[in-house]
């Protein structure tokens, strides 16, 4: 065995058990550009944890990310020295332990502390273990008297710490929504995500899907947004179910169905999906087209298109042609009846599912992505037939990435006009200007936006 294998083996042994894996993932979220979902997926694939432990690992890493602002506020208050400068292993072990103490009833406080202390001792030695032990026990003793910034003195600091969001986000939402609605939005972002399914009418019907769910006693509720969707009442590992593998349904947020309904693709049409992977919307478009006509699905990443192809195969979609290409470089001799530009975006509407985005994104990211979004919109519009329609959609609630961009486009392109969404989408999800928009605290789904424009001539 050479030296590097020894170190490697030691490395993998050190991060044992659910908490060990959790700290390893959180260290990587801190240190790299990688997103939580991807890191968790890799870790789960390479671990031999039981399914119960995998569920606990999922819960802990998402919980720590969701509540990191509040956890760090408390740890900073109790830590002697600068908590932000603490060794990553210790910092994340403390976050994991405190999350369990404050938010998980099923783990007794003493167990959370002991696990963290043993772990820190193994990785960083006795001195840090003693520190972790004293700190966590002190917090437990004072758990009911934790003080947050005074909202009368500094509302942004209070909301940031209490609701665990970065202050730049809180500031811009306060200016837009006011205090009451901002608090509701922050609280909604911190809630656990809803698990929603879209029935695949290419394979089955909603009636049959409900019957199958009844047979395995999975409870569900009808979607308020769209008849093709239902919500499961509990978070379960539904992708292991036989009928998922048979393509009876997809797992996707209800808000993702709205842009497709707005696009109104019909059998026999030619449709361009400019930013298609992993294919949630392409599959719904194919379903509405009854697999008749053609969908051209582009994505700049071949690896993501492979996932789309696998998804579409499972769903028995047969009318999609894929191209791995930067959409800005795509050319076609024939124009399209419909174009969907489901643009890459900051994703700030999806914080229930992706809490790490809160800490990974900043204002600069929004400013940067707006130019790409505008170019993609312009490219999509150039490939549209006269009389054809384009839907531009995102999963963010930020105006620069949404309606501001549409207004700018329409000002510069008089051959296009806005089609108000009210004829196709229920009025609860359409704003006063005819845009589709959902907000987590109002509609109970991801925040999203969609606008439809038509080429007049």
Mark the binding-site residues, compressed into ranges.
275-281, 299, 326, 342
Work out how close the CB of 270 gets to ligand SAM at its nearest, in angstroms, rounded to a whole number: 18
Q: Which of 395, 406, 450, 453 is catalytic?
A: 395
Give the list of residues 6+ apart from residue 175 with CB closer than 8 angstroms, or none. Answer: none
First to last CA, the chain: 72
Q: What radius of gyration do the chain's Cα atoms show?
A: 24
**Closest to 69 in 3D by CA, of 162, 187, 7:** 162
Work out how close the CB of 301 gets to ligand SAM at its nearest, in angstroms, rounded to a whole number: 5
Work out how close the CB of 292 gets to ligand SAM at its nearest, in angstroms, rounded to a whole number: 21
**Closest to 101 in 3D by CA, of 135, 52, 148, 50:** 135
**Choice between 68 and 340, CB closer to ligand SAM:** 340
* Number of residue whose CB is nearest ligand SAM: 275
Work out how close the CB of 446 gets to ligand SAM at its nearest, in angstroms, rounded to a whole number: 12
- The tokens for 150 are 């005074």
The CA distance from 403 to 425, in Å, is 17
Work out how close the CB of 80 gets to ligand SAM at its nearest, in angstroms, rounded to a whole number: 44
**Choice between 132 and 275, CB closer to ligand SAM:** 275
**Choice between 72 and 299, CB closer to ligand SAM:** 299
By the 8 A CB rule, do 182 and 174 touch? yes
Residues of this chain that bind ligand SAM (CB under 6 A): 256, 275-281, 298-301, 304, 326-328, 342, 344
Torsion on CA atoms 13, 19, 21, 26, rounded to nearest 10: -130
**Choice between 153 and 329, CB closer to ligand SAM:** 329
The CA distance from 117 to 130, in Å, is 7
Q: 89 — alpha (psi -120 to 50), left (phi > 0) or beta? A: alpha
Three-state SS across 34-58?
Answer: CCHHHHHHHHHHHCCCCHHHHHHHH
**Choice between 27 and 393, CB closer to ligand SAM:** 393
Work out how close the CB of 278 gets to ligand SAM at its nearest, in angstroms, rounded to a whole number: 5
Residue ranges of the annotated binding site for S-adenosyl-L-methionine are 275-281, 299, 326, 342
Work out how close the CB of 424 gets to ligand SAM at its nearest, in angstroms, rounded to a whole number: 18
Burial class (CB in 10 A: 0-12, 13-18, 19+), 114: middle
Number of Cβ within 10 Å of residue 122's Cβ equals 15
Number of Cβ within 10 Å of residue 332's Cβ equals 11
* Largest Cα–Cα separation, the chain: 75
**Choice between 326 and 423, CB closer to ligand SAM:** 326
**Choice between 163 and 284, CB closer to ligand SAM:** 284
**Closest to 95 in 3D by CA, of 122, 130, 132, 148:** 132
Query: Is 345 designated active site?
Result: no
C-alpha distances in Å from residue 283, one per residue of 162, 198, 218, 254, 300: 40, 10, 24, 14, 18
By the 8 A CB rule, do 244 and 212 touch? no
- Residues identified as active-site: 395
């Amino acid at each position: 065995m050479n030296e590097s294998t020894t170190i490697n083996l030691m490395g993998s042994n050190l991060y044992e058990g659910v908490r060990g894996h959790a700290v390893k993932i959180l260290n990587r979220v801190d240190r790299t550009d990688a997103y939580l979902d991807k890191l968790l997926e890799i870790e789960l694939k390479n671990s031999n944890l039981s399914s119960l432990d995998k569920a606990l690992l999922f819960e802990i890493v998402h919980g720590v990310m969701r509540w990191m602002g509040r956890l760090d506020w408390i740890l900073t208050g109790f830590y002697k020295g600068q908590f932000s400068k603490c060794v990553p292993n210790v910092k994340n072990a403390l976050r994991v332990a405190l999350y369990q103490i404050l938010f998980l009833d099923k783990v007794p406080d003493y167990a959370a502390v002991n696990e963290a202390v043993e772990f820190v001792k193994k990785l960083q030695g006795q001195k840090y273990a003693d520190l972790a032990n004293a700190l966590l026990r002190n917090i437990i003793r004072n758990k009911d008297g934790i003080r947050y910034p005074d909202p009368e003195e500094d509302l942004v600091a209070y909301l940031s710490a209490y609701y665990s969001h970065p202050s730049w986000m809180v500031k811009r939402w306060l200016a837009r929504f006011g205090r009451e609605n901002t608090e509701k939005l922050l609280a909604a972002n911190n809630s656990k995500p809803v698990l929603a399914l879209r029935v695949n009418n290419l394979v089955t019907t909603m009636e049959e899907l409900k019957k199958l769910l009844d047979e395995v006693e999975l409870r569900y509720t009808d979607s308020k947004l769209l008849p093709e969707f239902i919500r499961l009442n509990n978070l379960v590992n539904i992708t292991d179910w036989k009928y998922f593998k048979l393509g009876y349904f997809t797992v996707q947020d209800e808000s993702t169905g709205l842009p497709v309904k707005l696009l109104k693709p019909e059998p026999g049409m030619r449709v361009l999906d400019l930013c298609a992977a992993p294919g949630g919307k392409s599959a719904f478009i194919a379903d509405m087209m009854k697999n008749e006509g053609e969908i051209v699905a582009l994505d700049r990443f071949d690896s993501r298109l492979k996932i789309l192809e696998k998804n579409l195969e499972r769903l028995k979609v047969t009318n999609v042609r894929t191209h791995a290409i930067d959409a800005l470089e795509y050319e076609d001799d024939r124009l399209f009846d419909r174009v969907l530009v489901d643009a890459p975006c900051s994703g700030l509407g999806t914080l229930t599912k992706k809490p790490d985005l809160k800490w990974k994104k900043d204002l600069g990211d929004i400013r940067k992505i707006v130019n790409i979004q505008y170019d993609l919109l312009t490219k999509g519009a150039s490939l549209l037939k006269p009389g054809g329609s384009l839907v531009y959609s995102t999963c963010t609630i930020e105006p620069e990435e949404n309606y501001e961009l549409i207004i700018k486009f329409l000002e510069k392109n008089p051959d296009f006009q806005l089609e108000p969404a009210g004829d196709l989408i229920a009025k609860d999800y359409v704003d006063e200007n005819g845009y589709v928009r959902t907000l987590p605290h109002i509609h109970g789904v991801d925040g999203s936006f969609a606008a439809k424009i038509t080429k007049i001539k």
